[in-house]
Structure 1
Amino acid sequence: MLVVAGVVAAALLASPDAPSAAAPSPTSTPTVTPTPTPTPTPTPTGFPANTAQYDVTQLPQVNVFAVIPQLPLDDDPFTEATGETALALGIGAPVWADPTAEPVAYVPREFPYDGTTLPVVERQDHWVKVLLTGRQAVPSKGDAAQVSGWLRAQDVELGSTDTAVEVSIAARTVDIVRDGVPERIATDFGWGTDITPTPLGRTFIMTTRVVPEFWYTRGHPIIYLGVQSPTLDGFGGADAAVTAFHYHDERSGPISNGCIRLDPDAIARLAELPHGTPVIINP
């Protein structure tokens, strides 16, 4: 009641002509503010946290030339990525096939042929699932499809991307999609033959570079993807058979070794996209 009396006294001093305030009823009951119910702490989603220390240099390195049987194949190849990318902190981040087990490899922060900025395809509180370069097996010995793996969120620098590339072989179209809005950059292109087909499903831009030795590109950039040929163990003397977007004078129909051949304007547009940009190749 002292607070009420103080307020009334202050009002009278401020306004001398104000009428006297009525005294409060002796039977009035003070207002009781209920104690708020504590907000429950949300249960973390997904796999539990893992804070163990690992020497990544003792693990196989994930890169474009790596063949690591423990790496799982992408199990949802036609679903869009989350719009995030992951880049390893330090010298590299451990990679898990199963976050409840031990790591099977590591992805470096830097590699001469890139492939270290990775699209996130599933996000949890403590983990991110990403697409990776390399293969589980070469085609002559197993399945060479797109591989994936789990990284701890604490081991990576997360970025964002609002852009993806969508290819339809049946419709012969290539679109750059920004914020859900497609922009068509090609209405015809060359793709893989029956013997050397273009791999289907989701992958990502691994690196972009000009390779003068490849005469058929006529000096245009090659946009290399994270996925490799489903039928070729290697190509051009290399122990890898990477799929790519590139220029070629002949660029219509099923005529390539798996790469997608495009005109100069389309190649220039794709070359502007950052590493880690998701790509989906539809039948």
Structure 2
Amino acid sequence: MAPAEVYVAPTADAIAALPEAKYNATIAGLMPAGQSAAAGSPAAGSPATGTPATGSPATVPGAAATFHLSVDAALYGADRVTPVARLAASNFLGDPTVVVPVQTVGDWTLILTPSRQALPSANNGSAPAQTTAWIRTSLLTKDADLVSHIDVSLGGQTLTIVTPGQPDQSFAVGVGAPDTPTPTGVTGYIQARYLDASQGESVYPIQLTSLHSAAADEPFGGSDGGLIGVHFEQENTGQISHGCIRLPADAITAVNALPLGTLITITA
């Protein structure tokens, strides 16, 4: 369906009434990453998103930047006509929400979002690990360019920080157990980092990604939305986690030095 020729901005009240696209939300109107072709052709030279967990390996954008919002903004699905969600200017920690665009088509920009599009339990046990949505380009204010990106190989059980012009930094890591696998073939981003003593993290911040388990609603239990984290753990080798990436101290220190919004691609 083609987008409306005349854009009508929703009122502040209409935006406030939309479901918030936050880490533990499931919003059917969002798009699985890599399945947004109906919304328009990418701009020349713009990067592609990662694909859903059941798809082919993701493409890592070669150039990217982070942005922020001054006010809550409406998000749109493929038709770019009816808003489906609200992206808050501040995240669940009270910090500015990090916005990571993946392509721009005129007045519209496709961004990665922190919410789910479907639950695995309602989708034959497999759901997209990353979602996207359209937002008005004029609402985005640039913060910084992203230089480095993270590659995680589940087969090699490694996390590699890639920075053009510099040697790669690679670390052995722990990944999801067979019954609680880490999603593969997908690109997300680091949306937040924080210390959580209740999870045993009082020294090394948890790196919270925008990715979710593609195989289970809540593999860790609780109500965190099946989020995939990158975090320090004493036991950090093998297929041992609930889907998160477990890192030794030197690795989490290196990841912690990267800016929020840094892209993370997970491959088999």
- Fold match, TM over 0.5? yes
Residue 270 to residue 50, structure 1, CA distance change in 2 (3 Å) = farther
Unaligned runs of 5+ in 1: 1-45
Describe the superposition over 1:169-204 as per-residue Cα deviations: whole angstroms up to 9, x where unpaired: 223322222236452141x11101121111121000
Name the CA distance, whole Å, in 2 between partners of 1:47 and 1:85.
26
| 149, 162, 187: which one aligns with 2:133 | 149
User: What CA distance in whole angstroms lies between the structure 2 residues aligned with 1:50 and 1:94?
Assistant: 16
Q: Which residue in the other structure is 1:105 paired with?
A: 85
1:246 aligns with 2:205: no
Match of 1:163 in 2: 148
What TM-score does the superposition give when structure 2 sets the normalisation length? Answer: 0.80
Letter in 2 for 1:210: L
Does the aligned pair in 2 maintain the 1:115–1:207 contact within 8 Å? no
Instruction: Tell me whether 53-62 or 106-115 shows the greater mean CA deviation.
Output: 106-115
Question: Could you tell me how far 1:206 is from its partner in structure 2?
Answer: 1.2
- Give 1:144 shift: 4.3
Asked if the contact 1:115/1:275 (under 8 Å) is kept, the reply is no
Structure 1 pair 85–103 and aligned structure 2 pair: CA distance change class (3 A): same
Measured after TM superposition, the shift of residue 259 of structure 1 is: 0.7
1:232 matches 2:216: yes
Aligned residues: 235
In structure 2, C-alpha distance between the alignment counterparts of 1:180 and 1:272, rounded to whole Å: 17
> Could you tell me how far 1:49 is from its partner in structure 2?
7.2
Partner residue, 2:66: 85
AA of the residue aligned to 2:8: A
**Could you say which residue in structure 2 is the equivalent of 1:121?**
102
> Does 1:220 find its partner at 2:204?
yes
Query: In the TM superposition, what is the alpha-carbon distance from 1:89 to its structure 2 partner?
Result: 2.7
TM-score by length of 1: 0.76
Give the structure with higher Rg (CA): 1
1:68 to 1, 17, 27: 27
- How far apart in 2 are the matches of 1:51 and 1:269? 44
Letter of the aligned partner of 1:65 in structure 2? N
SS in 1 for 2:120: coil
CA contact (8 A) 1:74 1:148 kept: yes
Contact 2:69 2:140 in 1 (8 A): yes
C-alpha distance 127-248 of structure 1, shift in aligned 2 (>3 A):
same
CA distance in 1, matches of 2:253, 2:112: 25
In the alignment, which of 9, 15, 25 is matched to residue 53 of structure 1? 9
Deviation for aligned residue 1:255 = 1.0
Aligned pair in 2 of structure 1 residues 180, 150: CA closer, same or farther (>3 Å)? farther
1:50 to 1:161, Cα distance in 2 relative to 1, 3 A: farther
SS in 2 for 1:221: strand
- Aligned residue in 2 for 1:40: none
The CA distance in 1 between the partners of 2:76 and 2:86, in whole Å, is 8
> Which residue does the alignment assign to 1:199?
183
The whole-number CA distance in structure 2 between the counterparts of 1:242 and 1:177 is 23
Asked if the contact 2:3/2:81 (under 8 Å) is kept, the reply is no
Give SS of 1:140's match. helix
CA distance in 2, matches of 1:101, 1:181: 44
**Separation in 1 of the partners of 2:111 and 2:76?**
10
| 1:51–1:101 CA distance, 2 compared to 1 (3 A) | closer
* Structure with greater strand percent: 2
Distance in 2 of aligned mates of 1:48 and 1:184: 46
Structure with the larger RCO, 1 or 2 (CA within 8 Å, 6+ apart): 2
Deviations 1:188-227 (A, max 9, x none): 1110112111112100001111111113x46321111001
